[in-house]
Amino acid sequence: MSDSENTNKSNIDFKTEFPQAKKRIDALFEFVDNSPTAFHASLNEAKELEKYGFTKLKWEDEWKFNPGDKYYLIIGGTTFISFIVGTEKAKGFKIIGTHNDSPTLCIKNNPEMKSEGLKQLNVEPYGGLVYRGWFDRPLSVAGRVLLRGENNSIKTEIINVEKDLMIIPSLAIHMDRAMNEGYKISPQKELKPVYAMDSDESQDFIDYIAEYLGVETDEILDYDLSLYPRENGTYIGINSEFYSLGRLDNLLMTHQALTAIAESTDTNISFHRIFVSFDNEEIGSQTGRGADSALFANFLKRLNIACGGSEEDYYRSLANSFIISTDVSHAAHPNYPEMADPTNRPRLNGGPVLKIAARKSYNTTGESAARFRLYAENANAPVQCFYNHSDKLGGSTIGPLAEAQTAIPGADIGIPILSMHNIREMGGVLDHEFSIRIMKEFFASEY
């Protein structure tokens, strides 16, 4: 396949596609800007689907479903599952899988540190973040705080301190003339944010959080708090053909899947349609909320039972199921063209990519790729291919993990972006809409 064929450049009319694509990016900005953590992402996913008639479900409830029912549930505050019940109990599961978490800096317990008259926080990297991007920009704090309740109960508060609260100052070049020649950043030493003067008038951080919540400090039992950048999404380029935004990995793909199931209005589809966004993908998925756990297989079994299905029906359903695993992918970088595969070079605004690897770090096969291409053709959307450069190991996704847990085949796809895992990432405006079209076709089809 030639480079021009790979990008499908000749099939894309930017001016025609741009108006609808921009509407999708505007909605993406609103979703991501209001989702600084996976806790917030789950709540915003629920809020959006409730507009479309989805009802909240709890894991501990007794389940019983009818065809066309729409439900969602939140596991551990950060993993989100939504579904539309099919008209045939053993037809199969159509699944789009993604993840809610992104690389960040988590605040440790006993976080107070002081140096040179300044108060700082002790933080720990979560996932493979690019350290250098976190310097010298306004940051704040968001996440979950666990409070002491009555009768040994625990109350949960999801917070977002919407204020330019702290910053991680870099070292001046005058003090290290060799810094532009490259050096290793120590997260323990160099990524501690400054949030206050070390004076009697300045609160300690936990006291500040308690005041923010309107509680006493001793009411705080624990927390899951992390930092996030305060800048919102913005368009880039002479024709606004690009955009810059944080947490594209992986709220970009999550928003596509969320939109696709929300706009799946036909309740007479025989398949069960499922959108699942896991937590902890960035740290390996081996948690109770991650893809490499029994969680999702248990959910599928309960869904089958709640529809009146037998164990035999469950295994019959698995045999006719398919999962599209979605995670952002790499575009060929204009400053580092040698880092990309010689013949498969995804470009911004060239459409979503099929992610393929001989070592099966992506679960795409020839058969699953062919199936995805049919969905794309019927959705009038272009498709590109991504392979790692053969000298590079590359990453992985939830796809192989979900397949290993359920034996459901599928394809790994993604939107090509630049600056992956940095505090800001860059995408092409058209690609979001292209991917949503394909996902909607996937959910609407009977093949």
The Cα–Cα gap between 51 and 113 comes to: 45
Place of tokens 């070592």: 359
Fold observed for domain 14-102+246-444: Aminopeptidase (3.40.630)
- The model's pLDDT over 26-70, given as tens digits with 9 standing for 90+, comes to 999 999 999 999 999 999 999 999 999 999 999 999 999 999 999
Peptide bond into 250 cis (omega under 30): yes
Phi, psi of 341 (to 5 degrees): -60, 140
pLDDT class of 12 with cuts at 50, 70, 90: confident
What is the model's pLDDT at position 394? 86
- The model's pLDDT over 387-403, given as tens digits with 9 standing for 90+, comes to 999 999 888 899 999 99
User: Is 330 in contact with 386 (CB distance < 8 Å)?
Assistant: yes
CATH architecture for segment(s) 104-229: Roll (2.30)
- The model's pLDDT over 193-236, given as tens digits with 9 standing for 90+, comes to 999 999 988 899 999 999 999 999 999 999 999 999 999 999 99
pTM of the model: 0.96
Q: E strands along 14-117, which residues?
A: 55-56, 70-75, 79-84, 93-99, 104-115
Closest of 322, 254, 252 to residue 98, by C-alpha: 254
Torsion (CA) 127, 130, 132, 138 in degrees, nearest 10: -60
Residue 195 is encoded by which pair of tokens?
A: 């949030």
- The model's pLDDT over 317-359, given as tens digits with 9 standing for 90+, comes to 999 999 999 999 999 999 999 999 999 999 999 999 999 999 9
- The model's pLDDT over 67-97, given as tens digits with 9 standing for 90+, comes to 999 999 999 999 999 999 999 999 999 999 9
The Cα–Cα gap between 281 and 262 comes to: 24
Residue 436 is encoded by which pair of tokens?
A: 């949503």
- The model's pLDDT over 151-201, given as tens digits with 9 standing for 90+, comes to 999 999 999 999 999 999 999 999 999 889 988 999 999 999 999 999 988
What is the model's pLDDT at position 5? 43
The Cα–Cα gap between 212 and 232 comes to: 23
User: Is 68 in contact with 84 (CB distance < 8 Å)?
Assistant: yes
Q: Where do the structural domains in the chain lie, given as residue ranges? A: 14-102+246-444, 104-229
The half-sphere exposure of 368 on its side-chain side, counting CA atoms within 13 A, is 23
Q: Which amino acid is at 165?
A: L
Place of tokens 């030639």: 2
The Cα–Cα gap between 28 and 81 comes to: 19
